[in-house]
Amino acid sequence: MSKALFIIDVQNDFTEGGALGVDGGAAVAAGVSRHLAEHGDEYAIVLASRDWHEGHSDNGGHFATEAEPDYVDTWPAHCVAGTRGADYHPDLDTSRVDYHVLKGQGVPAYSIFEGRTDAGSTVHNLLDEHGIDTIDVVGIATDYCVRASALDAIAHGQHVRVLTGLVAGVAPASSDAALAELAHAGAELVTAS
């Protein structure tokens, strides 16, 4: 059995003070770094995703440009490629990350499976190449990109564990609903701090 860690979108724009900052985002960054220091050797591979949106377009309607964002399908500009907002949060130690996955280049993208590495590899191919059958999922935001990534991993036949102490969401109600949905879909919710 080989295990991978998905670190979802622990970026400046999704942490406190960012364009779409969530409460607890910085704590997730620091917590994931502690988790990697203590448990990094348990993972065959570690993958980290980042939104990497185009700054000169609405990214397929993802950025609200004609009206106020609805915070469901349209959002304020965030995580524009090459900006500080798109950078990993400084408390996230990326030295143990094996694959950096960029997503949302010109299109809406929530799941890590919608991205690619700089070398063009898909997440699905990387999981197959490394014989992965179990994935631990951490990151931001519980109710959006963590949810989408975990659901896609389940759909790809993986045993998924969401480390609930290492995720942060946009809102408590939608985050609780996302965790309940993931548990119903077969994910294991694991308390981790």
**Is 176 annotated in the active site?**
no
Task: State the burial class of residue 1 (Cβ atoms within 10 Å of its Cβ: 0-12, 13-18, 19+).
Answer: exposed
The full length of the chain comes to: 193
**Is 9 annotated in the active site?**
yes
Task: State the burial class of residue 156 (Cβ atoms within 10 Å of its Cβ: 0-12, 13-18, 19+).
Answer: middle
Reading the block at residue 10, the tokens are 């622990």
* E strands in 31-185: 45-51, 99-103, 132-140, 159-168
Q: Using alpha carbons, select from 185, 89, 184 the residue that is nearest to residue 138.
A: 89
Task: Tell me, rounded to whole angstroms, the distance of Cα 25 from its chain centroid.
Answer: 12
**Is 23 annotated in the active site?**
no
Q: Which residue has the tokens 């191919």?
A: 125
Catalytic entry in 3, 13, 79, 103: 103
Residue 3 burial (CB count, 10 A) = 18
Backbone angles phi, psi at 160, to 5 degrees: -115, 135
DSSP state of 9: -
Catalytic entry in 13, 79, 145, 152: 145
Catalytic entry in 3, 9, 51, 152: 9
Return the active site residues. Answer: 9, 103, 145
